[in-house]
Each structure stands twice: as structure tokens, then as C-alpha cells.
């Protein structure tokens, strides 16, 4: 689907012509508890890709790795920073392979954050605000017609903006707003002409997180896991291993890589849970999920980017095949009522789901196989990079991970998710 088509659809949906999909009744929030099935299974099966030297911890703690595979989803009920770690809407940045999107986190965050100067020299309650730069994001400008882009990022780089940015903003990422004295950026101060000393501030605002950061977060968690391995911190090994297994699983779901993440732009609302939860729940026990041995990952950043770019190329098929099937399949055989968790819900019928997976030529099964291999390879790589430490006794005694998990479960049960519901699986 090109952006011209997406723009027309966007205007129709949000301009008042609301299209109700036959999948719209498949409530993701109702499906969440049993939608965790796939993440648990993927972490469990990844254990069997590991070498014998890792088994004293990973095989022994296989139940923990499986159970805690869903903690990142529950964490979305506790903090607004968690949601963007689960996806990236690559298509908002233009055309594949999105070379305008830097692969390095610091560069991407700098490029897709706005820059303003706040002039407080007059002593007024509200400072004078001078917009220096607002990032161009293809979807925002060409589809949503926001007309906010301003300035050239290269002009900032010419004034050593990246050198000013790197030691400050990434470290303050979880502590917005990001404000710094203009004097911290002497190249800009020399041309801006602030009328007083230390009464001008730089205000930097993030515009990349709303479209997801999974490709940048995966290498960070990989480093955390490696550090835990190196330190022999078995509690943190288990936490980071369970977490990265979840994020790697999300990176293999095509609808975690597109702005049309739940079919909401094409009248296919509900397709996210259909693909990611319903099909594995019904058919995963019949899938061939034996994938062989984990392998060492040489370039972690490149590996995770390749995973997401490969996954993203399946988005059009996921959407087009479902639409074609829904147009041809008997309407009264598409949605069925089932009793789940003491509720009666409507969701895709078994025969309809089977037809969808077959029409996709087993895509869900193939992506699950790739996920298991990638999770195992991530764990194995962290162990090798840590110097292949002994993962045997003593047993894990730090209960902080379990305490956090219990707390997350309580927060999750209370409800109140931050961000997108449809990627909470």
C-alpha cells in the first residue's frame, strides 16, 4: 500500500467516514491474558537451542524464563516509556529501506527531536520561544499534513550539535523535559545573540518515540544481558533474558513495524490480535518449532535491524491476504463466539484462521521459528561476549525480579495501559 492510498484512507477514517471491520469485535484487551501464550512458548523453546554449558541455569529456570516472558507487556501498565520499546513504525519515515532513519540511537534521537531556544532575559513569566528545528517525518507531513517541519538538520550538525547532544540528552532520556543552558552549545550561542548571560535555554523535545524504538532498544538490552552474565548476576540474567526474548518476539511480528499496526487505516481493525494471538493459540502445537542450535551474532545492531527490516517486508501480505480472504470467505463463518475467562467473546473462527495462515503460506509458523532461533542466539551471544562464565550453582536467590513481576501483575490487573493497546501482546 502506497502513501497516496494511505492518505485517502486516513482522511476517510478520521474525517468522519468510519469503516467497521468484521474483525473489529475481536477485543485485544480481552485477548491479552491468553494472548501471552506465544511469548511464553517462544522463550521456552529457545532454551533448547543453547549449548550444554548454559543449561545449568537456563534449563533449570525454564519455567521462570517462560513465565516472565510477558513482563514487558505488563510493564506497559506501569510506565509510559515501555510501550515504544515494542514496535517501530518504519513506514512513517518514507520508503524502504528507510536510509534516512539513522541506525545509531544517538543520531536518530537527535535527528528526530525538535530544538527551541527559550529566551528568559526579559523576566517575563512566559519566555520568548524561538523554533530552531522541527524534524521532517514523512507520514506527519505528507499523510497527516501537519506542516510542522522546520529547518535543516545538517545546519545543526555544522554547528557541532551532535557533539553537544550526545553527552546530555541520551542520559536524560527518561527525565524530560530536556533543557540546557545555551552556553552549553557555544557554536549556537555565538550566532543566536542572547541579550543576557545564562538567561537563554535550549529545549529539546522527542518526536521519535511515538513511532517506536524497538530496533534501538534491543541492542541496549543485549548489553544489559551481557553485563549480567559477566558479573555472574543470575537474577538479572534471568530478567534480561526473559525481557529480550519478548522484544525479539515482537520484532518478528509484521504489524509491530507499521503505522497501520492494527489495520485501523485500511478498515481491518482487529487484525493485530488475529495474526499474533489467535493463530498461534489455535495452531502452534502443530507447528514445527525445532530450529537447531543458536549461533553467535557478530554485529548485534545490524542483526536486529535486519530482523525488523525483513519482518516489515511482510506487512503488505499480512494486510492484503486478510482483506482478500475476508471478501471471499462466507461472512457467517468468519467470527465465532467462545467462552474465555468467564466471558463470551467474538473472535475469528478456527476455519477462518486456518485459511488465513494457509493463504500466508505458513508465515506465522516461519516467523515463530525465526524468533526462537534469534532469542537463543541472543542469549548465547551474551554468554560468549561475557567470557563464557560458569552458569551452574549457586542457585538464584535474589527475588527482586519476582517481586517486580508480582507488582506488574497487580498493576496489569487494575488496567490503565499507557500507549497502544494493540501492541500489548
Residue 197 pLDDT greater than 60, yes or no: yes
* Calpha distance 59→422 (Å, rounded): 32
For residue 38, what are the domain limits? 3-89+213-414
| 263: CATH | 1.10.575.10
Check: CB of residue 425 under 8 Å from CB of residue 278.
no
Q: Which of 44-53, 297-306, 350-359, 387-396 shows the lowest mean pLDDT across its residues?
A: 387-396
Q: Which residue has the higher pLDDT, 101 or 416?
A: 101
225 or 1: which leads in pLDDT? 225
The residue length of the chain stands at 425
pLDDT for 349-368, tens place per residue? 999 999 999 999 999 999 99
Rounded average pLDDT over 207-228 = 98
pLDDT at 34 over 60: no
Provide the grid cell at 400: 527482586
Q: How confident is the model at residue 14 (pLDDT cuts 50, 70, 90)?
A: very low
- How far from each other are the two terminal CA atoms of the chain, in whole angstroms? 25
DSSP class of 134: B
Contact 87, 261 (CB under 8 A): yes
279 plus 134 within the same structural domain: no
Nearest to 157 by CA among 184, 190, 118, 187: 187
My answer on whether 190 and 301 are in the same domain is no
**Tens digits of per-residue pLDDT, 257-294?**
999 999 999 999 999 999 999 999 999 999 999 999 99
Q: What pairs with residue 118 in β-bridges?
A: 129, 201
Give the DSSP letter string of 215-259.
Answer: HHHHHHHHHHHHHHHHHT-HHHHHHHHHHHHHHHHHHT-GGGSSS
Residue 84 neighbours by CB distance under 10 Å: 24
Q: What is the pTM of this model?
A: 0.88
In a domain? residue 96: no
- Per-residue confidence (pLDDT) for residue 15, from 0 to 100: 34
343 pLDDT tier (thresholds 50, 70, 90):
confident
Judge if 221 and 270 occupy the same domain.
yes
Q: In the listed set 154, 183, 211, which residue is the last one of a domain according to the structure?
A: 211
* pLDDT beyond 70 at 18: no
> pLDDT exceeding 90 applies to what percent of the chain?
78
Cα–Cα distance list, 365 to 248, 276, 287, 311, 357 (Å): 15, 11, 6, 13, 9
Distance CA 349, CA 357 (A): 12
- Predicted confidence (pLDDT) at residue 6 exceeds the cutoff of 70: no
The structural domain count of the chain equals 2
**Residue 292 neighbours by CB under 8 Å, 6+ apart:** 49, 373
Given 211, 238, 259, the domain boundary residue is 211
Same structural domain for residues 233 and 304?
yes
Is residue 225 domain-shared with residue 179, that is, in the same domain? Answer: no
Percent of the chain residues past pLDDT 70, beyond the cut: 84
CB 241 within 8 A of CB 249: no
370 three-state secondary structure: helix
Amino acid at each position: 500500500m502506497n502513501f497516496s492510498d494511505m492518505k485517502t484512507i486516513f482522511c476517510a477514517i478520521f474525517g468522519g467516514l468510519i469503516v467497521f471491520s468484521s474483525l473489529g469485535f475481536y477485543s485485544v484487551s480481552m485477548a491479552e491474558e491468553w494472548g501471552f501464550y506465544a511469548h511464553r512458548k517462544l522463550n521456552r523453546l529457545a532454551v533448547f537451542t543453547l549449548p550444554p554449558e548454559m543449561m545449568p541455569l537456563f534449563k533449570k529456570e525454564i519455567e521462570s524464563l517462560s513465565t516472565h516472558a510477558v513482563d514487558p507487556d505488563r510493564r506497559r501498565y506501569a510506565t509510559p516509556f515501555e510501550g515504544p520499546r515494542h514496535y517501530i513504525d518504519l513506514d512513517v519515515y518514507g520508503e524502504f529501506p528507510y536510509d534516512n532513519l539513522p541506525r545509531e540511537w544517538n543520531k536518530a534521537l537527535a535527528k528526530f527531536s525538535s530544538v527551541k531556544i527559550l529566551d528568559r532575559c526579559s523576566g517575563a513569566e512566559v519566555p520568548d520561544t524561538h523554533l530552531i528545528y522541527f524534524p521532517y517525518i514523512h507520514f506527519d507531513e505528507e499523510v497527516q499534513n501537519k506542516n510542522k517541519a522546520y529547518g535543516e538538520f545538517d545546519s545543526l550538525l555544522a554547528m557541532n550539535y551532535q557533539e553537544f547532544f550526545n553527552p546530555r540528552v541520551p542520559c536524560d532520556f527518561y527525565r524530560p523535559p530536556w533543557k540546557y543552558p545555551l552556553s552549553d552549545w557555544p557554536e549556537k550561542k555565538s550566532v543566536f545573540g542572547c541579550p543576557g548571560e545564562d538567561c537563554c535555554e535550549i529545549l529539546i523535545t522527542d518526536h521519535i518515540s511515538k513511532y517506536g524504538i524497538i530496533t534501538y532498544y534491543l541492542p541496549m538490552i543485549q548489553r544489559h544481558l551481557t553485563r549480567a552474565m559477566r558479573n555472574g548476576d543470575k537474577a538479572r540474567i534471568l530478567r534480561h533474558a526473559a525481557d529480550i526474548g519478548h522484544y525479539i518476539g515482537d520484532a518478528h511480528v509484521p504489524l509491530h513495524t507499521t503505522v497501520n499496526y492494527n489495520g485501523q487505516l485500511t478498515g481491518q481493525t482487529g487484525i493485530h490480535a488475529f495474526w499474533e494471538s489467535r493463530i498461534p493459540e489455535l495452531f502452534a502445537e502443530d507447528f514445527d518449532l525445532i530450529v537447531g542450535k543458536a549461533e553467535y551474532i557478530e554485529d548485534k545492531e545490524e542483526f536486529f535491524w535486519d530482523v525488523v527490516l525483513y519482518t516489515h517486508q511482510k506487512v503488505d501480505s499480512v494486510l492484503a491476504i486478510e482483506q482478500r480472504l475476508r471478501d471471499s470467505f462466507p461472512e457467517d463463518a468468519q467470527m465465532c463466539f467462545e467462552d474465555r475467562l468467564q466471558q463470551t467473546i467474538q473472535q475469528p473462527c478456527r476455519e477462518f484462521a486456518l485459511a488465513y495462515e494457509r493463504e500466508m503460506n505458513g508465515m506465522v509458523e516461519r516467523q515463530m521459528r525465526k524468533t526462537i532461533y534469534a532469542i537463543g542466539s541472543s542469549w548465547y551471544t551474551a554468554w560468549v561476549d561475557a567470557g563464557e562464565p560458569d552458569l551452574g550453582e549457586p542457585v538464584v536467590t535474589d527475588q527482586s525480579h519476582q517481586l517486580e513481576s508480582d507488582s506488574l501483575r497487580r498493576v496489569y490487573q487494575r488496567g490503565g495501559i499507557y500507549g497502544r493497546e494493540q501492541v500489548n501482546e
